[in-house]
Amino acid sequence: MAHTVSDLAALVRERQPCVVLTGAGISTESGVPDFRSPSGIWAKYDPMEYATITAFRRDPVKVWEFYALRFELLTAAEPNPGHLALAELERRGLVTAVVTQNIDGLHTRAGSHAVVEVHGSIRSASCLDCGERVPLEEVIAALRDSPAPPCPQCGAVLKPDVVMFGELLPALAIDRAIELARLAGLLLVVGSSLEVHPVAGLTGETVSAGGALAIVNRGQTPFDRLASVRIDGGAGATLSALAEALA
Ligand code: APR
Ligand code: ZN
């Protein structure tokens, strides 16, 4: 049975508090490609060569070439109606927090305050040897002079503060995300294939704690059968219509 935005609006009203979990699909309308769509990043780049901590240690310059391209795209991107609708729903007290897998910082720039970045962000890069943390602007400046930015303290190659495959998620962020999923009356997933763990497991945290799951996504996810409401549609249009329906 195809669900409508008014089904989703009723669920948001009835099953507070509502926590939102977003993936790359909410940022494609800002011009940032996602990962697993046919036109996604992993169709062009092998994640095993560019997105694992082993690949980074083996060839940091190659991984930085990949991230330098992504930094250009990500810093040029602007929040889209999907991000803005979630910020509006937070202002109205209808969304408690956004847990995001995205590293683009667009939720914060859209005006959302309670944002949990479980896969880190491009906002800074850190030194694996001495722990020095360098803000994005300095990293971009350093990338003009060298293909892999050196640590200003000890000279080792900096690593983007994004979670690579084979790395643990930032403990504070994933613990907070699990706490939010457990207290959520509704976990609303937007624009994620829910293929990557442990984040995909947040859906089970909510449902096993008695909460409901809703999914707004183009294409299937492995958790569709757990969803009380599932809308196969664009994030921007659907979230704008949702904010409208809840006005
Ligand atoms: N509206 C709705 N859904 C969309 C839109 C859109 N405008 N654009 C894309 N989608 C859907 C795609 O069809 C896909 O199902 O969003 C989903 C995005 O899934 P992925 O590309 O797998 O992105 P995500 O779920 O965020 O990936 C999780 O994988 O590679 C790692 O660390 C990376 O954080 C990322 C994680
Ligand atoms: Zn260092």
Which of 162, 187, 213 terminates a domain? The answer is 162
Q: Largest alpha-carbon pair distance within the chain?
A: 59
Task: Determine if ligand 1 sits within 6 Å of the CB of residue 124.
Answer: no
8 A C-beta contact, residue 12 and residue 94: yes
The verdict on 227 and 144 lying in the same domain is no
The answer on 38 and 27 residing in a single domain is: no
Give nearest CA residue, ligand 1 atom 13: 218
The reply to whether 95 and 129 lie within a common domain is no
Whether ligand 1 lies within 6 angstroms of the CB of 100 is answered as: no
Q: Are residues 111 and 217 in the same domain?
A: yes
Annotated catalytic residue 3: no
State whether 188 and 209 are in the same domain. yes
Q: Which of 131, 162, 193 is the last residue in one of the domains?
A: 162
Q: Over the Cα atoms of the chain, what is R_g? A: 18
Residue 4 predicted with pLDDT over 70: yes
User: Residue 1's pLDDT is what?
Assistant: 60
Q: What is the CATH number of the domain that holds 131?
A: 3.30.1600.10
Indicate if 242 and 197 belong to the same structural domain.
Answer: yes
Residues 178 and 58 in one domain: no
Taking only the tens place, the pLDDT of each residue in 165-190 is: 999 999 999 999 999 999 999 999 99
Task: Kindly state if the Cβ of 137 falls inside 6 Å of ligand 1.
Answer: no
Q: Which of 3, 83, 107, 119 is catalytic?
A: 119
**Tokens 């904010």, residue?**
243
Same-domain check for residues 155 and 194: no
Q: For residue 162, what pLDDT is reported?
A: 97
pLDDT in tens, 201-240: 999 999 999 999 999 999 999 999 999 999 999 999 999 9
Rounded to whole angstroms, how far apart are CA atoms 11 and 196? 26
**224 in the same domain as 246:** yes
- Could you give the 3-state DSSP secondary structure of residue 126? strand
Protein residue with least CA distance to atom 25, ligand 1? 192
CA of 11 to the centre of ligand 1 (A): 23
**Domain limits for position 68:** 33-76+121-162
Instruction: For residues 135 and 214, give the distance between their C-alpha atoms in angstroms, rounded to a whole number.
Output: 36
Asked if residue 218 has its Cβ within 6 Å of ligand 1, the reply is yes
Structurally, how many domains does the chain consist of? 2
CATH, residue 218: 3.40.50.1220
**Looking at the structure, do residues 229 and 197 belong to the same domain, yes or no?**
yes
pLDDT single digits (tens) 29-86: 999 999 999 999 999 999 999 999 999 999 999 999 999 999 889 999 999 999 999 9
Residues 90 and 72 in one domain: no
The residues, any chain, with a CB within 8 Å of residue 247's CB and separated by 6 or more, are: none
Question: Backbone phi, then psi, for 161, in 5-degree steps?
Answer: -80, 45
> What pTM does this model have?
0.97
Do 107 and 132 fall within a single domain? no
Q: What are 191's two structure tokens?
A: 């624009």
Residue 185 C-beta-side C-alpha neighbours within 13 Å = 12
Q: How far is the CA of 148 from the centre of ligand 2 (A)?
A: 13
Q: What is the pLDDT of residue 241?
A: 98
Q: Among 144, 217, 210, which Cα is nearest to 182's? A: 210
Residue 2 has a pLDDT of 76
